[in-house]
Structure 1
Amino acid sequence: MKGIPAGVSASHPATARAGLQVLRDGGTAGDAAVAAVLACCVAETIFTGLGGGGFATYFDAATGEVTCLDFFTAVPGLDDDCRAGPMIAVDVFFGGLPQVYSIGGASVGVPGVPAGCGEVHRRWGRLPWAEVVSPAISLAKTGVPTPEAHARTLDACAPALAWGEGAAVYTPNGRRLAGGDLLFHPGLATALDALALNGPSIFYTGDFAPIVVDTVRRAGGVLGPRDLAEYRVLETPVDHAELGGYRVRARHDLNRTVDTIGGLPADLTRPHRAPGVAAALRDQGRQRIGDTTNISVVDPDGNACVITTTLGLGSGVWLPGLGINLNSMLGEGELITDDMRPGRRMSSNMCPLVVIDPDGRLAVAAGSAGASRIRTALIDTLLGVLIDGLDMTEAIARPRFHVVDDTVHAEFGYPRAELAALDQAGWRIKQWPDLNHYFGGVTAVGQAGAAGDPRRAGVGLLL
């Protein structure tokens, strides 16, 4: 069994380069992952940002221990001194069909990305904090070219992203950003400079905290100073399942990724497995879009850090002078549960994971964007690498299918023999004309190499 290479995989070349730079400077997987996440908050604001939330999974090569951290958004309202105003409904078209989302101040949950980055660095970092933040600052000062794949996502999500102050960022001079155009956020370098100097607490109890509260409340939200001051990163239980003699380890997410892996059919040969995989993936019709991105890092010591973050679609509520769009997680219908009391952590489909080989060594570090398609994308990639023997690039780039109720949505080029098996088993087939960012955005580093998802302009870079 070959060893795993050190490297970084991300959904933007600039993000991956930021993480790789930190690895070259002697940083750990934790250092590099945090640097890449902060770079995401500059280069991938169509998907994520400092105003969002996320999850991290860390593999310690020396001990074999896997740790999952939850720094997702929390439900605001602990201060109990104001009422939420109405949210703003926006239609986002995906696959030709409208999806209704809600944005505005009342959609803003307590952000966790700054706190999460700080906790990952505290636990597993080695370089000084300011050095880890530095690559993101450099990107924020110049702006970053928009990949064509990101521009296509913007086309779908513009009703939310280009709303209000976002119009000047995403539709400068009245024209929506296209592939190759510069994405630049005035004030974001200032915010990152302050983060480097003061640490994440600046957002929760420091100078930025009253700015966050005042901005959200003026926009009709209820987030208050106590919501920020009492926010904490949580350590969550680690779930596991077997796949082809390997052990997959991750948090227990809303879409039950690990449980689904455990429910895959015994016969995983192609094309026979297709109906059984489809049955395991049946997801009660959730088809939310979601703006999400993922970072996967392995360092030279074999440690891995996988971090997935999101803004939802973004609330359209921007911190004045700081270039930060706040999340819209309270406007994401599939995340609203019966226990949405103030202070409670919201649920999520995000599932950064690691795979351990039969010898106890790291085999894969992976995560994905794509809301309810995260599970689909991750499972198909793991089947490609662990069962089908593909390298990471082939496994991530090949056509996938996603299940909604009794319909299989299949990307262009999906094998005809498997579609026939699905049809014979009674599934309805909807064939898409292309490889589409709807089907997720995997980034992974493993024994099979490092790769990003072409659906999201992803890249994998080895040290």
Structure 2
Amino acid sequence: MVVTANPHATDVALAVLRGGGSAADAAIAAALVLNVVEPQSSGLGGGGFLLHYSAADGRMSAWDGRETAPADVDASLFLDASGKPLGFHDAAVGGRAVGVPGLAKLLGEVHRHHGRLPWARLFAPAIALAEEGFPVSPRLHALIGGDRFLAKDAQARALFYDAGGAPLAVGARLRNPRLAEVLRVLARDGADAFYRGDIAAAIVDVVNSGPNPGTLSLADFAAYRVIRRDALCGPYRGWRVCGMPPPSSGGATVLSMLGLLSRFPLAGIDPDSAFSRHLFAEAGRLAFADRDAWYGDPRAMPLSPAQLLDAAYIGARAQQIALDSSLRRAQAGQPGKVQRAVPAVHPERASTSHVSIVDAAGNAVSMTISIEDAFGSRRMVRGMLLNNQLTDFSFVPRDVRGLHPNRVEPGKRPRSSMAPTLLFAPDGRLHAVLGSPGGSAIINFVTEAVIGLVDWHIAPDALLARPHVGSRNGPTEVENTAEGRALASRLALFGQETVVRDLTSGIGLVVRAPQGWFGAADPRREGVAAGL
């Protein structure tokens, strides 16, 4: 079973499985196709996180392909001359926020450990699509037309706009021969070819020139490594939930929310009631307060996820959830009375993609990949959009109470909210593979899905169609649908301050069914589920 964010990627991944490929092979081929057909969201100019499950021995691998900061940066990277934080797009557009991309090496390492088909074969579909082109979808057309910065880059302007300067029309064929050539080089020479020679030199040149330049070097590319980490797992009502450890805050914050909610008998509460949504929002406030205060590159965190997820600590935090009133804004906890760094909250953008796959042998991949903002830094090199992931660092490095663990430093990996997730049933069998794009709201989207599966046994399609409600330790966000607006008015009875907005998740969900696997793609985007 395959669920990806685009029909082209789903078709290619399914063909890889049909041809005897593993879940890892299918995920690699899908990621490369997504670079071609969904360039605003992910690609070789960015990075990501991947969870792999081996059915034969039950082993999990957590692969960290997150971007890294250049060696020549310091904590003032996103401060102006007066020491004040830059506006988001003042920081994001241009070379300043570009980190060393990790996706190419991530795919290479995963293939080396879990691949079955030849590496070059996995590139062929993406190369063909880049060369021959594909019809521009309504979603891509709208995103191009709505972006204020993309056309300022000459390569992007030539690729995404017609001769008159208008966004490519719906149905127009988008061809990217420059990207096809990069893909050919990687197919022939391996993932390391991205980090040396002409490709790396071209990226360094573009990042360090033009408006708002950065400081990437060839040495930064040569030093880049994918890190194989231990998956972060925790219990929920007898089930086991596994996700990514830091530098992603996604896995830990999902587990924190589930721990906070475990004291409430959700199975006996109407899932569509304002009361269940109130409890969920309050758990989000508490979990996000800790996320904002404590999480970053694990080398800089003063506390470990184990301390922040300790059952006694989470239980004490849960006591703050009232049944009939809202915290409005929660304060971070202090396990062990360690001095808390002050949260430096900033927007984490929602331009990301997700792939969920289970192969015929029961091996599984949950992979979330991103270039951060829509169209990333709006700097294009050889058909690839470059990330602006360094804006996921805290812009303000410190205040009177100390340094923030997510401050900018050379070689660090910025905090992420990407939350590829594997859910295991009480009998130990893999039950679900999931994840989503959506910036920091990913955490709420994934937690909602886990609760829907475990507590309420909601069918996957129905689960993904429900309106989102949650808090990131600010106003309670309610999805702008008729059902969502009705929920917002009822949440006011619990003292919730609500804001109604679009919450464009893109959950890819694969769930065990009696005869195999059932897949569901989020109806808010272009995703498709398909199986053999």
TM-score range, shorter chain: 0.7 to 0.9
Pairing 1:445–2:445 present? no
Q: What is the one-letter code of the residue matched to 2:215?
A: V
Alpha-carbon distance between aligned partners in 1 of 2:452 and 2:395, rounded to the nearest angstrom: 30
SS at match of 2:9: helix
2:39 is matched with 45
Q: What is the one-letter code of the residue matched to 2:530?
A: L
Match 1:291 to one of 348, 351, 359: 351
Kept in 1: contact 2:420–2:436 (CA 8 A)? yes
Map 1:228-377; keep pairs closer than 5 Å.
228-252=221-245, 253-255=248-250, 256-265=253-262, 266-268=264-266, 269-270=269-270, 271=273, 272-282=275-285, 283=288, 287-313=347-373, 314-319=376-381, 322-332=382-392, 338-377=406-445
Structure 1 residue ranges without an equivalent (≥5): 1-6, 93-98
Q: What is the one-letter code of the residue matched to 2:493?
A: Q
Structure 1's 86 and 100: CA in aligned 2 closer, same or farther, altered over 3 A? Answer: closer
Kept in 2: contact 1:294–1:307 (CA 8 A)? yes
Deviation per CA, 1:26-65: give whole Å up to 9, x if none. Answer: 0000000011011111111011111101100011112222
1:169 is matched with 159
- Deviation of the 1:418 alpha carbon: 5.2
Alpha-carbon distance between aligned partners in 1 of 2:55 and 2:190, rounded to the nearest angstrom: 28
Structure 1's 429 and 55: CA in aligned 2 closer, same or farther, altered over 3 A? Answer: same
| Count of matched residue positions in the alignment of Structure 1 and Structure 2 | 441
Moved more, 452-461 or 385-394: 385-394
Structure 1's 338 and 399: CA in aligned 2 closer, same or farther, altered over 3 A? Answer: closer
- Deviation of the 1:146 alpha carbon: 3.1
The structure with the largest alpha-carbon Rg is 2
- Deviation of the 1:420 alpha carbon: 5.6
Moved more, 368-377 or 60-69: 60-69
Kept in 2: contact 1:53–1:310 (CA 8 A)? yes
- Deviation of the 1:148 alpha carbon: 2.5
1:456 is matched with 525
Structure 1's 160 and 379: CA in aligned 2 closer, same or farther, altered over 3 A? Answer: farther
Structure 1's 422 and 324: CA in aligned 2 closer, same or farther, altered over 3 A? Answer: same
Structure 1's 291 and 263: CA in aligned 2 closer, same or farther, altered over 3 A? Answer: same
Provide the alpha-carbon RMSD of the alignment.
2.8
Moved more, 358-367 or 140-149: 140-149
Kept in 2: contact 1:75–1:343 (CA 8 A)? yes
Kept in 1: contact 2:280–2:470 (CA 8 A)? no
Match 1:11 to one of 5, 23, 28: 5
SS at match of 1:167: helix
Please, what TM-score do these two structures have when normalized by structure 1? 0.87
1:4 is matched with none
Match 1:138 to one of 117, 120, 128: 128
Alpha-carbon distance between aligned partners in 1 of 2:73 and 2:471, rounded to the nearest angstrom: 41
Q: What is the one-letter code of the residue matched to 1:371?
A: G
Deviation per CA, 1:320-359: give whole Å up to 9, x if none. Answer: xx21111111234658855422222222111111111112
Kept in 2: contact 1:90–1:160 (CA 8 A)? no
Alpha-carbon distance between aligned partners in 1 of 2:407 and 2:18, rounded to the nearest angstrom: 45
Alpha-carbon distance between aligned partners in 2 of 1:342 and 1:31, rounded to the nearest angstrom: 33
Structure 2 residue ranges without an equivalent (≥5): 290-344, 397-404
Q: What is the one-letter code of the residue matched to 1:261?
A: L
Kept in 1: contact 2:356–2:510 (CA 8 A)? yes
Alpha-carbon distance between aligned partners in 1 of 2:158 and 2:357, rounded to the nearest angstrom: 33
Moved more, 18-27 or 58-67: 58-67
SS at match of 1:456: coil
Q: What is the one-letter code of the residue matched to 1:13?
A: P
Alpha-carbon distance between aligned partners in 1 of 2:393 and 2:67, rounded to the nearest angstrom: 15
Deviation per CA, 1:133-174: give whole Å up to 9, x if none. Answer: 111111111222233334444455x12444313222233232
2:208 is matched with 217
2:339 is matched with none
Alpha-carbon distance between aligned partners in 2 of 1:210 and 1:376, rounded to the nearest angstrom: 39
Structure 1's 259 and 182: CA in aligned 2 closer, same or farther, altered over 3 A? Answer: farther
Kept in 2: contact 1:12–1:147 (CA 8 A)? no
Alpha-carbon distance between aligned partners in 2 of 1:108 and 1:383, rounded to the nearest angstrom: 36
Alpha-carbon distance between aligned partners in 2 of 1:13 and 1:90, rounded to the nearest angstrom: 38
Pairing 1:201–2:195 present? no
Alpha-carbon distance between aligned partners in 1 of 2:190 and 2:79, rounded to the nearest angstrom: 32
Alpha-carbon distance between aligned partners in 1 of 2:511 and 2:488, rounded to the nearest angstrom: 29
Kept in 1: contact 2:352–2:438 (CA 8 A)? yes
Identity, % of aligned positions: 33
Pairing 1:122–2:82 present? no
Match 1:182 to one of 173, 179, 190: 173
Structure 1's 182 and 78: CA in aligned 2 closer, same or farther, altered over 3 A? Answer: same
Kept in 2: contact 1:288–1:334 (CA 8 A)? no
Kept in 2: contact 1:137–1:193 (CA 8 A)? yes
1:423 is matched with 492
Alpha-carbon distance between aligned partners in 2 of 1:38 and 1:410, rounded to the nearest angstrom: 34
2:297 is matched with none
Alpha-carbon distance between aligned partners in 2 of 1:385 and 1:338, rounded to the nearest angstrom: 33
Q: What is the one-letter code of the residue matched to 1:144?
A: F
Q: What is the one-letter code of the residue matched to 1:72?
A: R
Alpha-carbon distance between aligned partners in 1 of 2:171 and 2:91, rounded to the nearest angstrom: 28
SS at match of 1:241: strand
- Deviation of the 1:209 alpha carbon: 2.1
Alpha-carbon distance between aligned partners in 2 of 1:338 and 1:430, rounded to the nearest angstrom: 28
Structure 1's 238 and 144: CA in aligned 2 closer, same or farther, altered over 3 A? Answer: same
Structure 1's 399 and 79: CA in aligned 2 closer, same or farther, altered over 3 A? Answer: closer
Higher strand share: 1
Alpha-carbon distance between aligned partners in 2 of 1:385 and 1:224, rounded to the nearest angstrom: 46
